[in-house]
Chains A and B, each alone.
Chain A
Amino acid sequence: MRCRQPGHTPLLLLALILLFVSTDVCVAQSEPDPAGSLMADTARVTVAPPTSVIVTDHKYDNGDALELSWVPSIDDRIPGGKVVRYQVYRSVNEGEYLPIQELLPGSNFFLDESLHRDSVYSYYVTAYSRNDSAMSVATAPVSPQREWLHVDRAWLFVIALIISLAVFYFIRAARKGEDLFIRKIAGLEAVDEAIGRATEMGRPILYIPGILDMDDVQTLAAITILGRVARTVADYEIQVRMPVSRSLVMTAARETIKTAYQTAGRPDSYSDDMVQYVTDEQFGYVAAVDGIMVREKPATVFLLGAFFAESLILAETGNSINAIQIAGTARPAQLPFFIAACDFTLIGEELFAASAYLSGEPKQLGSLKGQDVGKFIAMVVIIIGVIAATLAQAWEVPFMQQVYDALTFVFSTQ
């Protein structure tokens, strides 16, 4: 409030009174406020603008995003910085600039999405203090671009293509009847022996195909092996019990066992009760299977497929009833329990190898051989890479540095 003094006498008194009052108020205002807030609010907290604002196309998208980066305001980079927020402004097709995004202090990047390829965009960024602001220089207009190929992933594509072609090649070779060698897998030789034991003891076989559904590759492998086991079971005329935790697995398993019994010439011996749905709930399923094991005391237990926390419970219960147990899973976390508690364990990929070996199906055999090509590539690259890295880093061999750089570039993923 300002203090004024008018000139005419009749008003002088009034003015003097007003002056007295306003002076009091002015004095009150000029005295330091104990809290300091009034003076602090009115003092302008100036900030420097952000600089080097650059807008670039966001790579490898459908042409609907732009990347905005900037150097934060110098007042944001010092301790106790004055910047409280940034605001990004955007203009579409050289129209009015509108605020689109508020960002925290320290921000230096913004991804603007849901844009149109046919439009041009320009931006500026404003730094705000408590009561001031400073805007950057606006960028030149830019349009987002669409990329059809993620070029940074070209090597991922090349290596995936090599392995895929190897798989196709071996599948074709298997279909032509070529003999594709697969090494012996220890657990498989025990399958017939285990079924024979059940026959001698006159007790059933229990087959657990894991707890995942038919879309899981381990369950598919387990059902494939079931086909082989069921044929032997049908030949020996012993019972198979198969509690499952997924309804689709139940129907697939019933089909498989029924076909096996028909092939063995014993269709009347088959019964749908051999495969029963229990529950989807993990530990409910385990409780039921444990009960079956303890009450019916199967001579042989197959635990093949995808298992989780229930693996140890199942394996230990089977161990406690002195059953022969043949297990196999590709889940590394469950393998220790099977190895400790079961007689034979198919470790990881051996489950799929067993499925391919027993079924003799060209697709499975070819896939297995194709994967071996991938493993071979990995082995060779690792050895060459480590030698190159060691020679380059420890003995400064220049060519080796190039080899090392090339290999790490090829195998890095974006």
Chain B
Amino acid sequence: MEHLAVWIAALLTLGIISFLYKDNAWYKLSEAIFVGISAGYWFVVLFWDNVHGKFWTGVFPPEQYDAAGNVITEAPDYMLWVGAALGILMLMRLIPKIGWISRWPLAFIVGSTSGLYLINYFSSNMMRQVQGTIMPLFGMWPTDPTTGETVFQALPTYDIVGNVVILVGVFSGLVYFFFSKEHRGVFGATAKVGIFFLMVTFGASFGYTVMSRMSLLIGRVDFLFGTWLGLIK
């Protein structure tokens, strides 16, 4: 069975990779198998993990035994019925005549996630980042703990350049995404600096992602030449 599983995985991998040469029947077969199995797999996972695993065992908890062999009876969680009802209302979308009902559970989900995200994103992605961007550019006057005197300490050149780059990048990036003013004159020039910073960031991100994609390919090659063919020592 294991041999069969390895061969099927290897042939499907090669089928998908063959797309790099050109579209062909082997790729089409692999694609169809993958799409079909993934749809079925996710249906099963979502059913057993959510519908059964969370809802059914929550409202009809099974008998449990502790280490001493005593029966533990968990109280049913009746709130799950509310969630189930909202879920059924969501499925009404599939029936055109009463599809409007699905807007209610959708509104609930969008509203609750918006409320949660508002604080999380606002706190972590705006407030903390603004706080992190406010920094001295050139140096500081730390207090000597033994003498109590303050002595000027210039920041290293590397840090000064870094702080200036961060400041210019953040500010010009914010200017670029400011939609209430046309990008003209000084404002437009600042926005251009912003897009320059964005492109440099995207280039760095692209490089990191190339590494990520190569890692996935390396994983597949390890499977083909290692697990399947056994050629790797």
Interface residues of A (CB under 8 A from B): 156, 159-160, 181-184, 214-215, 247-248, 251-252, 255, 278-281, 283-285, 287-288, 290-291, 294-295, 309, 312, 332-333, 335-337, 339-340, 347-350, 353, 368-369, 372, 374-376, 378-379, 381-383, 385-386, 388-390, 392-394, 396, 404, 407-408, 411-413
In the complex, the answer to whether A411 meets B178 with C-beta atoms within 8 Å is no
In the complex, the answer to whether A337 meets B206 with C-beta atoms within 8 Å is yes
B192 close to A (CB within 8 Å): no
Which among B58-66, B69-77, B118-126 touches the partner chain? B118-126
**Chain A CB within 10 A, most for which of B130, B133, B137, B203:** B130
In the complex, the answer to whether B170 meets A412 with C-beta atoms within 8 Å is no
The complex places the Cα of A385 from the Cα of B130 at a distance, in Å, of 9
Beyond A393-B141, A394-B141, 19 additional pairs, beta carbon < 8 A: A156-B119, A156-B127, A214-B106, A215-B113, A251-B93, A281-B39, A287-B34, A287-B35, A288-B35, A309-B212, A349-B179, A374-B126, A375-B178, A379-B174, A386-B133, A386-B134, A390-B138, A394-B140, A396-B150
B217 close to A (CB within 8 Å): no
CB distance from A304 to the nearest CB of B (A): 18
Pull 15 A–B residue pairs with CB atoms less than 8 Å apart, ordered by A.
Answer: A215-B113, A291-B28, A291-B31, A309-B212, A376-B178, A378-B126, A382-B130, A382-B167, A385-B130, A389-B137, A393-B136, A393-B138, A404-B134, A411-B127, A411-B128
In the complex, the answer to whether A281 meets B38 with C-beta atoms within 8 Å is yes
In the complex, the answer to whether A389 meets B209 with C-beta atoms within 8 Å is no
Task: Give every chain A residue within 8 A of B179 (Cβ-Cβ).
Answer: 182-183, 349, 353, 368-369, 372
Nearest to A214 among chain B residues (CB) is B106
CB distance from A178 to the nearest CB of B (A): 13
The complex places the Cα of A408 from the Cα of B210 at a distance, in Å, of 38
The complex places the Cα of A280 from the Cα of B45 at a distance, in Å, of 12
In the complex, the answer to whether B123 meets A156 with C-beta atoms within 8 Å is yes
B4 close to A (CB within 8 Å): no
In the complex, the answer to whether B177 meets A348 with C-beta atoms within 8 Å is yes
In the complex, the answer to whether B171 meets A385 with C-beta atoms within 8 Å is no
The complex places the Cα of A255 from the Cα of B102 at a distance, in Å, of 13
B42 CB contact (under 8 Å) in A280, A291, A394: A280
Which among B48-56, B180-188, B218-226 touches the partner chain? B180-188
CB distance from A372 to the nearest CB of B (A): 5
In the complex, the answer to whether B127 meets A383 with C-beta atoms within 8 Å is no
In the complex, the answer to whether A408 meets B34 with C-beta atoms within 8 Å is no
Q: How many residues of B contact A (CB 8 A)?
A: 67
Task: Give every chain A residue within 8 A of B37 (Cβ-Cβ).
Answer: 284
The complex places the Cα of A247 from the Cα of B93 at a distance, in Å, of 9
CB distance from A63 to the nearest CB of B (A): 22
The complex places the Cα of A80 from the Cα of B138 at a distance, in Å, of 45
Task: Give every chain A residue within 8 A of B84 (Cβ-Cβ).
Answer: none
The complex places the Cα of A379 from the Cα of B177 at a distance, in Å, of 12
Known: A183-B182, A284-B34, A390-B136. A160 touches B39 (CB 8 A): no
Q: By DSSP majority rule, is chain A's interface helix, strand, loop, or mixed?
A: helix
In the complex, the answer to whether B123 meets A381 with C-beta atoms within 8 Å is no
Task: Give every chain B residue within 8 A of A255 (Cβ-Cβ).
Answer: 99
The complex places the Cα of A386 from the Cα of B165 at a distance, in Å, of 13
CB distance from B146 to the nearest CB of A (A): 20
Nearest to B35 among chain A residues (CB) is A284
Nearest to A338 among chain B residues (CB) is B202
In the complex, the answer to whether B213 meets A312 with C-beta atoms within 8 Å is yes
The complex places the Cα of A295 from the Cα of B19 at a distance, in Å, of 12
**Chain A CB within 10 A, most for which of B90, B179, B183:** B179
The complex places the Cα of A290 from the Cα of B28 at a distance, in Å, of 10
**Chain B CB within 10 A, most for which of A156, A284, A408:** A284
Task: Give every chain A residue within 8 A of B57 (Cβ-Cβ).
Answer: none
Task: Give every chain B residue within 8 A of A309 (Cβ-Cβ).
Answer: 212-213
In the complex, the answer to whether B202 meets A389 with C-beta atoms within 8 Å is no
Task: Give every chain B residue within 8 A of A294 (Cβ-Cβ).
Answer: 23
Known: A375-B177, A382-B170. A336 touches B99 (CB 8 A): no
Task: Give every chain B residue within 8 A of A411 (Cβ-Cβ).
Answer: 127-128, 130-131, 134
Known: A251-B94, A287-B31. A396 touches B182 (CB 8 A): no
CB distance from A245 to the nearest CB of B (A): 10
The complex places the Cα of A182 from the Cα of B118 at a distance, in Å, of 24
List 5 A-B pairs, minimum CB-CB distance, nearest first.
Answer: A281-B38, A385-B134, A284-B38, A393-B136, A336-B206
The complex places the Cα of A283 from the Cα of B36 at a distance, in Å, of 12
Known: A251-B94, A287-B31, A396-B150. A378 touches B130 (CB 8 A): yes
Nearest to B182 among chain A residues (CB) is A183
Task: Give every chain A residue within 8 A of B41 (Cβ-Cβ).
Answer: 281
Nearest to A284 among chain B residues (CB) is B38
CB distance from B206 to the nearest CB of A (A): 4
CB distance from B24 to the nearest CB of A (A): 10
In the complex, the answer to whether B35 meets A386 with C-beta atoms within 8 Å is no
The complex places the Cα of A395 from the Cα of B36 at a distance, in Å, of 68
Nearest to B177 among chain A residues (CB) is A349
In the complex, the answer to whether B39 meets A389 with C-beta atoms within 8 Å is no
The complex places the Cα of A392 from the Cα of B142 at a distance, in Å, of 11
Task: Give every chain A residue within 8 A of B30 (Cβ-Cβ).
Answer: 287
